[in-house]
Amino acid sequence: MSSTGTERVLVIPTNVFHRLGYFQGFCGDVDRYLGELLRPEHMSYRPRHEVEHDPSFKQLIPYMIFCHTDSAGCLRVFQYTRGAGQGEARLRAKRSVGIGGHISAEDRGADGCGDPYTLGMRRELEEEVILDTPYTCRCVGFINDDQTEVGRVHLGLVHRLDVERAAVYPRELEIVAAGFEAVEALLADLSAFETWSQICLRALFGGQAGRMAPV
C-alpha cells in the first residue's frame, strides 16, 4: 500500500450523496443508496492528503462489524482499541467496533477491471484481522457524520459479519485490547468509542440489548 502522502483513494462527489438523500448519523436504507453510490461514473481516485480536508468529496469506507451469538443466546460484538501508531491520528486511543479503511486505486486489480470496493474491503479484512471461522456478510446501512472533522470527508458503508465462532484475532499491531463483548457492556461505555462506533451501536443495538435492532 502507498504511503498516506501519495496514496490515491476512492471518492465520490458529496453532491451525489446529497442528491440521493442527505442524512446525519445512520441510515439503514441499503437499496436506496448502495448501487448508486458504487456506480463507476461517480467514482474517482484522488490524493488522500488532499481529500482529507475537502468536504466536496466523500471517501467511501467499508466499516465491518463482527457479531457472534454465544451458546447462551447472548449477542456479542468484536471490539478493540486503536493503538498510538494508528494511521488516522484523530482516532487514536479510541475504542471501535469497526474494521476497515480506505479503498485505494491499487484495489482495481492488475487489469483495472475489478470491483474496487469489494476488492478493497477484502484487502482491509485480510490486513487487519485473522478470521478463523465461517461467516456471512451483508451491508446493513451507512454512516454520515458531518459534525466531526473526520466525518465530513468520509461516508461509511456498514457491513455486518455474523461469525460461527468467536475466532476473530488482530493481525494489525495497532489493534489492541481486542475481543468479543456483550452488547450491554458496549452500550454502557459509549463515550469511550469513536463517533462512528457510537452511531452504529446506538442504531443497530440500542434499546434492544442482546439482539440486533431492525434496519
Per-residue model confidence (pLDDT) at position 180: 98
Query: Cβ(58)–Cβ(33) under 8 Å?
Result: no
Q: Which three cell numbers stand for residue 72?
A: 447462551
The answer, yes or no, to whether residue 18 has pLDDT greater than 90, is yes
As a 3-state breakdown, the chain gives helix, strand, coil percent values, each rounded to 5, of 30, 35, 35
Rounded to two decimals, the pTM is 0.89
Rounded to the nearest 5°, which phi and psi values hold at 128?
-100, -30
Topology at the third CATH level for domain 8-205: Nucleoside Triphosphate Pyrophosphohydrolase (3.90.79)
Q: Please state the rounded mean pLDDT for residues 51-69.
A: 98
| Distance set, CA 215 to CA 6, 33, 85, 138, 153 (Å) | 38, 14, 34, 12, 24
Torsion of CA 152, 101, 44, 150, to 10 degrees: 10
Cβ atoms < 10 Å from Cβ of 136 = 10
Q: What is the mean pLDDT of the chain?
A: 90
- What percentage of the chain carries pLDDT values higher than 90? 83
Q: Where are the beta strands (DSSP E) in 89-206?
A: 95-96, 129-131, 135-144, 154-163, 168-170, 175-182
Q: How many CB atoms lie within 10 A of CB 174?
A: 15
User: Among candidates 10, 65, 81, 9, which has minimal Cα distance to 212?
Assistant: 65
Q: What is the pLDDT of residue 6?
A: 83
User: In the block, which residue shows the cell 474491503?
Assistant: 121
pLDDT of 100 higher than 70: yes
pLDDT at 85: 53
Region 48-55: mean pLDDT is 96
Q: How confident is the model at residue 114 (pLDDT cuts 50, 70, 90)?
A: confident
Domain extent listing, the chain: 8-205
Query: Is the pLDDT reported for residue 209 higher than 90?
Result: no
Residue 130 phi, psi dihedral angles, 5° rounding: -100, 120
Q: What is the pLDDT of residues 140-182, one digit of tens each?
A: 999 999 999 999 999 999 999 999 999 999 999 999 999 999 9
Inter-residue contact 13 to 57 (CB < 8 Å): yes
